[in-house]
Amino acid sequence: MAQQSVSLYQRTGIEWLRDFLRGIGSFLKLIASNRVGLLGFIMVIFFIVLSTVGPRFVPLDTKTKVTQIYVPPSREHPLGTDHQGRDIWSQIVHGGKDILYVAFLTGLISTFIGVVLGSLSAIIGGGFDSLMTTLADIWLTIPQFPLLAVLAGFIRLDSLSLLALILAVLSWAGLFRAVRAQVFSLKERDYVEAARALDLGLRHIVFSEILPNMMSYIAISFTFAMTSAIYAQTSLVFLGLVPISTSNWGVMISLAWTRGAIFSKDSIYYIMSPIMAIALLQLALVWMGRSLEAVFNPRLRAGG
């Protein structure tokens, strides 16, 4: 009897692993259905690996070398050196972790807030819908970046998680209105009416009936929330309002400005390296959104 239980457990584990690998294969196949989206997906994976695994193999160069200031790219320094003779490539490798963390956490929190509040507002309706819509309208009229600059004067934004939370709280309103409009359309569908008739509850209607049919839109909104967070974080760091790691890409741009590197013709690699890293990361996220739309939208798969 015990042997039969072990055998059954092994078969169940093998079946689970087989289904998991099959799901991964299907996901990768859908990602590859769009060449631009596949390229974006590969670029995002590259930046994640570069920022998380790369620092273990590429030590951060912190030594000042006066004789190697603004050295052009070479085998020893693939991206040249900065105003203190430090290797730029090592700064790029170590400077992406904070950017990715804040972008991912901001996108996750703002998307969750916008989707949940937008869905509840459209389904519950009445006074709750009017209150949330009015609040979102007021929120959208607030200039976010000037408010962030003011908040930085009162709150020490030395915590990446706190910075991500503030960015998310300031950016949920736009997605709220878009999700609310989508749910107003979806809640009239037959399957939602059937769930209401069976009294399956608000949680089931929102998370089991409505949200699965909005996943493509939610995935795209998540990627755009990440790109907005990257802009906001690097801008705050550039202005010196966020005192975080000196290896951050935004810090590199800020130092290039404050140390006068922008006025030297030999500093082009030092200035453009973090700018290109930020631009390529944002481009990768936007391109990856194309494949995510195909993954979560069955109609696009049927049409392809």
Question: How far, in Å, CA of 130 to CA of 150, rounded?
Answer: 29
Tokens of 198: 């069976």
> Which residue is associated with the tokens 């951060």?
60
Whether the CB-CB separation of 160 and 244 falls below 8 Å is answered with: yes
In the 3-class helix/strand/coil scheme, how is 152-182 assigned residue by residue?
HHHCCCCCHHHHHHHHHHHCCHHHHHHHHHH
For the segment 123-135, what is each residue's pLDDT rounded down to a tens digit?
A: 888 888 899 899 9
Q: What is the dihedral of CA 56, 62, 68, 74, to 10 degrees?
A: 10
Average confidence score pLDDT of the chain: 80
**Which pLDDT does position 108 carry in this prediction?**
92
State the average pLDDT over residues 189-198: 75
**Which pLDDT does position 13 carry in this prediction?**
58
State the average pLDDT over residues 173-181: 86
State the average pLDDT over residues 118-126: 84
**Coil, strand or helix at 1:** coil
Whether the CB-CB separation of 289 and 24 falls below 8 Å is answered with: no
CB contact set of 183 (below 8 Å; sequence gap of 6+): 118, 119, 121, 122, 123, 210, 214
For the segment 62-82, what is each residue's pLDDT rounded down to a tens digit?
A: 888 888 888 888 888 888 888
**Which pLDDT does position 303 carry in this prediction?**
47
Least confident segment among 79-93, 113-127, 139-153, 185-199: 185-199
CATH code for the structural domain at 35-303: 1.10.3720.10
- Higher confidence at residue 117 or residue 257? 117
For the segment 210-267, what is each residue's pLDDT rounded down to a tens digit?
A: 777 777 778 888 888 898 888 888 888 877 777 655 578 888 888 787 777 777 777 7
Question: How far, in Å, CA of 253 to CA of 230, rounded?
Answer: 14
- Higher confidence at residue 17 or residue 90? 90
CB contact set of 122 (below 8 Å; sequence gap of 6+): 129, 179, 180, 181, 183, 184, 187
State the average pLDDT over residues 84-101: 89
**Which pLDDT does position 244 carry in this prediction?**
59
**Segments making up each domain of the chain, as ranges:** 1-31, 35-303
pLDDT band at 9 (very low <50, low <70, confident <90, very high): very low
Question: How far, in Å, CA of 239 to CA of 1, rounded?
Answer: 69
